[in-house]
């Protein structure tokens, strides 16, 4: 009996000891293959038992601390030069964590929306790029996508991956090609990329609560929150949005709403092109079926037609008269064009059916009205306007936070990173905030607020912040007109009012038909140029001519640039892309000539000029001003007029 008592007591004490011991917990950022920032103190942190002694060994040096009463602990590791691989050991009273293959180099936080999220697998020449991807000193940590109302303190998922042919396909393309170029210039310095990006996100979602306290942003935050509440209230009476077990438009694996003679008289209507939220479908995410009938004369129906349906977000299947003509699910941002054979067509009534899927409440069929059409010999028919629609399945919960709700993405994806020491930020975002011109103008407040906010959150001083400007996109502009994207680019350039910032010009790297241009190689190279100039002081590097000043001289305006070697890339030698206006604020196409680091701009139609604009369009196809290193000039305007009106 005595032996049994002691055995029971021993087991009880062991059990109590086991229960009372908390494991050492560190962020998933602190893991094998991690990259530590060189040249500065770096933080290693985590949790353990209250008052537990923690010992960290790195590069032969021992660092010790003790967990606080709530179990939190942190140590600062002394600055290191670039190098590795190293072993970092974290030791508690009964546990040892070993971080293997750690290197010291430069760490860059890459964030934004879809063009930052865009992976190497989607770029031009991707197969060859992946074969060549064999530098294990380029490493990425992909932050798991998450969105929430409260700040997250620690990452519990995600891992560092070294670049190889097997892993690089999922790297952010802009981040990877930037890192590759930096490795070419600084071959002894590893590069770590922390990829925290999410397609379709607005900048307001990446700001913290504290960040919205900066310079007028509090009112904008109130607007977004009230708009979120308004849209949420709209959902209360929409009982037809109840999530279902599957797509109502599919039965036994086959589509049931695609026949030409299917009765869609009970379906609702909306206008295409457009986003779901602008057509009474606020916060809808899921599967939406759309139908449109049209008439074809006999001579057109007896031949093939060219069909254009604009852009789908995110994916769609397309039928004409019940015949499937597209089942691609990964072409968001590309104009859908088809050559439809005569065997699928009918004289008289024909019907198009779309099954559009988007899971994050940002879906739609969008683009210019001219991008929805049918073309044939001597025949054209617009498909813009009213379409019938019916919800196939509702999968997005209205209580979830959309990707434009303030602070949500900061809370879940940036907040848990802020203890990690970074060397700089690469930011590629803005398409979402260019949806209307007033929001594009407000973006300058958001972006400057974001820079200040993140620098404070990371306690990093004036850490370098590099912004990629939006590229050219949409139908090339032929005449001067207000432009959302031009205003957004101007807002991005205003970040230069803050210290230690740079802007990367991509005005010639876009695609008129694809909001996600595939040439990310040159984007990455230009980001690297900007970083070498900003961080490493290589001022001789050419990042493109930028506007300095203007002066009215007679009937001309003389523009001065910061680059002395200006050229025109126009095939005939003309200097194009400039518009000019008098005090009536009516812009006309202008003539221009280069004179050293200046451009003289005029028009016979404007005798008393007041303003010049250059490249002021969503897609300024005729912007021909470059440096002699073939870097494009930044777009600009000399006036301070309200760009939403003029």
What's the pLDDT tens digit per position in 200-258? Answer: 899 999 999 888 876 567 766 666 566 555 554 544 444 444 445 578 888 888 999 99
End-to-end CA distance of the chain: 96
Q: Under DSSP, is residue 132 helix (H, G, I), strand (E, B) or coil?
A: helix
With CA atoms as reference, report the closest residue to 374 among 403, 350, 354: 350
- State the residue for tokens 């039965």: 251
**Residue 482 and residue 278 in contact, taking contact as beta carbons nearer than 8 Å:** no
Q: What pLDDT shows up at residue 465? A: 99
Both tokens assigned to 456: 């404070």
- Which residues on neighbouring strands pair with residue 296, listed in sequence order? 348
**Residue 366 and residue 387 in contact, taking contact as beta carbons nearer than 8 Å:** no
The C-alpha atoms of residue 511 and residue 619 are separated, in whole angstroms, by: 9
Both tokens assigned to 487: 């205003």
In angstroms, the Cα distances linking 271 to 128, 280, 365, 417, 462 are 42, 10, 10, 42, 47
Q: What pLDDT shows up at residue 645? A: 84
Model confidence at 198: pLDDT above 70: yes
**Residue 431 and residue 115 in contact, taking contact as beta carbons nearer than 8 Å:** yes
The C-alpha atoms of residue 612 and residue 598 are separated, in whole angstroms, by: 13
Q: What pLDDT shows up at residue 362? A: 63
In angstroms, the Cα distances linking 484 to 47, 377, 440, 489, 491 are 47, 35, 6, 9, 11
Question: What's the mean pLDDT in 175-196?
Answer: 99
Answer positive or negative: Cα dihedral of 159, 161, 165, 169: positive
**Residue 122 and residue 331 in contact, taking contact as beta carbons nearer than 8 Å:** no
Question: What's the mean pLDDT in 14-41?
Answer: 81
pLDDT band of residue 11 (cuts 50, 70, 90) is very low
Render pLDDT for 596-638 as a digit per residue (tens, 0 to 9).
999 999 999 999 999 999 999 999 989 999 999 999 999 999 9
HSE, side-chain direction, 13 A CA sphere, residue 92:
22
The C-alpha atoms of residue 341 and residue 304 are separated, in whole angstroms, by: 4
Q: Under DSSP, is residue 103 helix (H, G, I), strand (E, B) or coil?
A: strand
Model confidence at 79: pLDDT above 90: yes
pLDDT band of residue 22 (cuts 50, 70, 90) is low
Domains of the chain, start order: 108-239+399-543 (3.40.50.1110), 244-394 (2.60.120.260), 547-637 (no CATH)
- Which residues on neighbouring strands pair with residue 160, listed in sequence order? 141
Model confidence at 282: pLDDT above 80: no
Question: What's the mean pLDDT in 120-125?
Answer: 94
In angstroms, the Cα distances linking 53 to 15, 50, 558 are 22, 9, 69
Both tokens assigned to 318: 């397309």
> How large a percentage of the chain has pLDDT more than 70?
87
Model confidence at 170: pLDDT above 70: yes
The C-alpha atoms of residue 225 and residue 348 are separated, in whole angstroms, by: 49
Both tokens assigned to 102: 């750690």
Mean pLDDT of the chain: 89
Q: What pLDDT shows up at residue 417? A: 98
**Residue 621 and residue 589 in contact, taking contact as beta carbons nearer than 8 Å:** no
Which positions ≥6 away from 2 have C-beta within 8 Å? Answer: none
pLDDT higher for 311 or 165? 165
Render pLDDT for 482-519 as a digit per residue (tens, 0 to 9).
999 999 999 999 999 999 999 999 999 999 888 899 99
The C-alpha atoms of residue 193 and residue 110 are separated, in whole angstroms, by: 7
Both tokens assigned to 362: 């940002």
- Residue 191 DSSP label: E
Q: What pLDDT shows up at residue 18? A: 39
Model confidence at 384: pLDDT above 70: yes
């Amino acid at each position: 009996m005595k032996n049994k008592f002691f055995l029971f007591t021993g087991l009880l004490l062991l059990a109590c000891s086991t229960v009372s011991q908390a494991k050492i917990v560190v962020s998933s950022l602190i893991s094998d293959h991690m990259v530590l920032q060189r040249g500065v103190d770096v933080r290693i942190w985590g949790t353990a038992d209250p008052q537990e002694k923690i010992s960290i060994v790195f590069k032969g040096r021992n660092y010790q601390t003790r967990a606080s009463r709530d179990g939190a602990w942190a140590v600062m590791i002394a600055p290191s030069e670039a190098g590795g691989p190293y072993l970092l050991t974290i030791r508690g009273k009964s546990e040892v964590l070993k971080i293997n293959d750690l290197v010291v180099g430069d760490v860059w936080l890459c964030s934004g929306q879809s063009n930052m999220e865009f992976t190497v697998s989607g770029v031009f020449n991707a197969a060859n790029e992946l074969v060549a991807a064999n530098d294990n000193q380029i490493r990425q940590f992909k932050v798991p996508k998450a969105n929430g109302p409260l700040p997250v303190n620690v990452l519990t998922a995600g891992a560092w991956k070294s670049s190889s042919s097997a892993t690089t396909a999922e790297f952010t393309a802009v981040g990877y090609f930037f890192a590759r170029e930096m490795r070419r210039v600084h071959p002894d310095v590893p590069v770590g990329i922390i990829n925290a990006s999410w397609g379709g996100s607005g900048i307001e979602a990446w700001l913290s609560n504290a960040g919205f306290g900066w310079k007028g942003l509090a009112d904008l935050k109130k607007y977004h929150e009230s708009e979120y509440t308004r849209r949420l209230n709209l959902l209360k009476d929409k009982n037809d949005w109840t999530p279902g077990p599957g797509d109502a438009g599919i039965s036994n694996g086959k589509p049931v709403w695609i026949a030409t003679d299917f009765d869609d008289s009970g379906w609702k209507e909306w206008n295409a092109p457009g986003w779901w939220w602008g057509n009474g479908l606020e916060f809808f995410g899921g599967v939406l079926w759309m139908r449109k009938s049209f008439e074809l004369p006999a001579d057109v129906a007896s031949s093939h037609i060219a069909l254009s349906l604009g852009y789908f977000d995110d994916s769609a299947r397309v039928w004409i008269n019940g015949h499937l003509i597209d089942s691609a699910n990964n072409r968001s941002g590309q104009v859908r064009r088809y050559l439809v054979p005569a065997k699928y067509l009918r004289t008289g009534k024909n019907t198009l059916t779309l099954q559009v899927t988007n899971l994050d409440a940002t879906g739609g069929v969008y683009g210019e009205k001219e991008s929805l059409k049918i073309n044939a010999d001597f025949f054209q028919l617009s498909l813009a306007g009213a379409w019938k629609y019916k919800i196939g399945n509702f999968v997005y919960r209205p209580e979830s936070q959309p990707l434009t709700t303030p602070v949500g993405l900061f809370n879940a994806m940036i907040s848990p990173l802020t203890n990690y020491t970074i060397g700089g930020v690469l930011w590629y975002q803005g398409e979402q905030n260019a949806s209307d011109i007033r929001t594009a103008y407000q973006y300058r407040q958001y972006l400057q607020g974001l820079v200040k906010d993140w620098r404070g959150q990371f306690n990093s001083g004036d850490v370098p912040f590099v912004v990629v400007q939006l590229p050219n996109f949409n139908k090339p502009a032929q005449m001067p007109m207000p432009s959302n994207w031009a205003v957004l680019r101007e807002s991005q350039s205003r970040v230069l009012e803050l210290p230690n910032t740079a802007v990367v010009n991509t005005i010639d790297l876009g695609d008129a038909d694809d909001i996600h241009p595939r040439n990310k190689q040159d984007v990455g190279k230009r980001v690297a140029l900007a970083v070498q100039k900003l961080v490493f002081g290589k001022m001789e590097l050419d990042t493109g001519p930028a506007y300095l000043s203007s002066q009215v001289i007679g009937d001309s305006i003389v523009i001065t640039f910061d680059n002395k070697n200006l050229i025109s890339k126009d095939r005939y030698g003309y200097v194009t892309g400039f518009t000019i206006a008098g005090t009536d604020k009516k812009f006309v196409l202008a003539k221009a000539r280069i004179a050293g680091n200046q451009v003289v701009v005029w028009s016979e139609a404007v005798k008393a000029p007041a303003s010049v604009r250059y490249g002021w369009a969503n897609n300024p196809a005729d912007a021909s001003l470059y440096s002699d290193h073939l870097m494009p000039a930044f777009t600009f305007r000399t006036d301070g007029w309200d760009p939403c009106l003029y």
